[in-house]
Amino acid sequence: MEIISKRSFAGERPLFATNNVRLEGVQFLPGESALKHCHDVEAIGCEFMGKYPFWHDENVVIEHGLFTASSRAAIWYTQNIRMANCVVEAPKMFREVRHLYLEKTRLLDAAECCWNCRDVEFRNVEIDNGDYLFMNATDIRIDGFKLQGNYSFQGTKNVVIRNARLDSKDAFWNSENVTVYDSVLDGEYLGWHSTNLRLVNCTIRGTQPLCYAQNLLIENCVMVDTDLCFEYSTLKAEINSDILSVKNPSGGFIRAKSIGELILDENCAAPGACEIRVGEALPA
């Protein structure tokens, strides 16, 4: 493997189609497409200041790297990439990526990131300004995660999230086969139009959560300041707290400590189809 150490590159395509290379402490100055159409690349302690550095690549390892704000849309159409201990200041970081592993990394301006990605694993990742994170992505595994950004996980499929804190309006819209364990979900309009959304040991905050959901499962969760919940949803819910209000659920059951207001009005699609019990001990 060729080693390139402590050099600087600028302009357009300085290392285009370079293969089997290890970059150590390299700076990529303003320019475009520094490492386009490359494979088997290791970048250790490198700084990226130009646009589109990793496009159409394969087998990439990046450690202790910095992607500045000018390195937008850095990694697109790439397969088999591992990143650890990196800082990303630029938006639109990942698109159309297959087999992405990200660990101990912080994305500071992650708008429109991870769209249409497949087979993704995040471990101990923090994301700020992450509006529309993971749009239409599939096969995602996350453990240890902090997100600030709205409209996350829309249209996603086959997702497992553990030990997360999501500050995200409109999360999980139109999602399918998503399971969230031991997490805090803070944001209004959670999980609308989802299918097979499962929440286990979670805290849920925000107005009008979990409406128009199909086959919603809620196990041993707490709901805080949640009102107008479950409208037109089919669900099995075990809530270990009070709920401010529930409106027109379509079927299944709800068990909770109490419900401040139960609204079953003339617009209820299936009156009596959802069994509601309050004040009972929940199953162990």
One DSSP character per residue, 131-150 reads TTTTTT-EEEEEEEEEEE-S
Mean confidence (pLDDT) of the chain: 95
The closest of 198, 107, 125 to 160, measured between CA atoms, is 198
**What digits encode the pLDDT tens for the residues 27-40?**
999 999 999 999 99
Which of the four pLDDT bands, split at 50, 70 and 90, describes residue 280? low
For residues 105-128, give the mean pLDDT: 97
**What digits encode the pLDDT tens for the residues 133-192?**
999 999 999 999 999 999 999 999 999 999 999 999 999 999 999 999 999 999 999 999
Does 96 map to a domain? no
Query: Structure pTM?
Result: 0.93
Other beta carbons within 10 angstroms of residue 103's beta carbon come to 17
Does 58 map to a domain? no
Examine the pLDDT at 284 and tell me if it is beyond 50.
no
Q: Which residue has the higher pLDDT, 1 or 106?
A: 106
Does 164 map to a domain? yes
Residue numbers of the domain that contains 204: 131-278
Phi, psi of 10 (to 5 degrees): -145, 175
Does 243 map to a domain? yes
Does 62 map to a domain? no
The closest of 127, 135, 179, 131 to 153, measured between CA atoms, is 135
Query: HEC states along 186-233?
Result: ECCCCCCCCEEEEEECCEEECCCCCCCCECEEEEEEEEECCCCECCCC
For residues 251-255, give the mean pLDDT: 94
Q: Which residue type occupies 44? A: I
**Can you give the pLDDT at residue 281?**
46
Does 269 map to a domain? yes
Domain count, the chain: 1
**Can you give the pLDDT at residue 266?**
86
Does 14 map to a domain? no
What gap in Å lies between CA 220 and CA 147, rounded to an integer?
Answer: 23
Hey, which residues does 27 pair with through a beta bridge?
8, 47
Which of the four pLDDT bands, split at 50, 70 and 90, describes residue 1? confident
Picking from 139-153, 210-224, 268-282, which range would have the lowest pLDDT averaged per residue?
268-282
8 Å CB contact between 262 and 276: yes
Does 7 map to a domain? no
Angle at 50 between CA 45 and CA 52, to 5 degrees: 100
What gap in Å lies between CA 145 and CA 174, rounded to an integer?
Answer: 21
Radius of gyration of the chain (CA): 22
Give the pair of three-digit tokens for residue 120.
């993704």
